[in-house]
Amino acid sequence: MSVDAELADELVAAVSTWVDRDVISQSRALEQADEFPQSMFEQMCDFGLFGATIPPEYGGLGLDAITYARVVEELSRGWMSLAGILNSHKLAVAMITRFGTPEQRSRFLPRMLDGSFRASFSLSEPDAGSDTRNIRCRAELDGGEWVINGTKMWVTNGMRSSLVMLLARTPDDRITCFAVEKAPGERSGGLTISRKIEKLGYKGLETVEMSYADHRVPHANLLGGDKGMGEGLRYALSALELGRVNIAARAVGVAQAALDAALAYSQERETFGKPIFAHQAVQFMLAEMATKLHAARLMTYDAARRYDAGERIDLEAGMAKLFASEAAYEIATDAMRIHGGYGYTTEHSVERYYRDTPLMIIGEGTNEIQKLVIARRLLERMRERG
């Protein structure tokens, strides 16, 4: 993909400036109130972020994964939840762009440009989280429509989205993906928001349970058309490679914010007559934090570049997600320790970083699952080399 480097740098710089000017100062109050950041969402729309990775022939900017990762990093440096508003939409864009029929791409992608037609991603179920093959949500063909029944969990943006990329099991016992159009809100036909799930962190955007009771979806919305029958899990896992780049980039952004806060505080806080930065123990912590952050960023950008080159990146994206998320958790913890008692209060943002980082360890496949994926892919590559 050929991308205008100047345009990419300009967009990242504009987002970074906005984060410094507006997001950082407002995010704490919104996060503590668990309030959706409507004005920030509107600014993200104005930046064109929802259409940033949509191909130009459908009206998008056609930006590459490395630019997307940089944008996500900047958003997360200000407030990680902003990247969550964007991620499920981008997963849907990737799935439709890669696997949709020409008609589906023409019908959906131009509507997904400005944020008014946002998408969510629905794979997990109460008994099918990491075990994706245990999906029980079912789709039965009735004339020219599919009738959906089942319950889905952990649907980020489920309430405000207009499109849901839904994975369901068809009568042949295969998993297929459907593009479910809905009216934003708590009910749309046979689709309801069963409940909003309260979370430790990742505040400001909804994570919901969604229930389907004889909800009808046109056959034309089966992703990939007839060729997409039984291909839903492959389509989803392919899109989740980009999702893991997103998670890794989020982790880098939160880790950067935690390191910045720790560095600043270490020069302001004095003990025994000198700033705590002057104590060797604190210097050692900061040096390790910065080194982990640098490594996490390089791994994330490497996975994004490979994605742009069209490579299979389940190994690299898994490694980046695993390392960056664990590093972010450790860096946030050390930032809290450097702040001492103040780090445990809501007066400083480090307690939010500490609450937000576990999401990256769990999201888009737990790190334990990532280790299995990495190990199996290593074996595959060894066999491929003979």
Active site positions, annotated: 364
Name the E strands within the chain. Answer: 119-122, 138-142, 145-156, 163-169, 175-181, 187-188, 191-196, 207-218, 270-271, 274-275
| Side chain identity, residue 230 | G
Strand-pair partners of 193: 210
Contact 11, 63 (CB under 8 A): yes
- How buried is 264 (Cβ within 10 angstroms: 0-12 exposed, 13-18 middle, 19+ buried)? exposed
- Nearest CA to 246 out of 115, 31, 86, 56 is that of 86
- DSSP tag of 228: G
Residue whose entry in the numeric block shows the structure tokens 């997409």: 228
- DSSP tag of 222: B
Q: Give exposure, 133-151, as e/b (b: 16+ Cβ within 10 Å).
A: eebebbbeeeeebbbbbbe
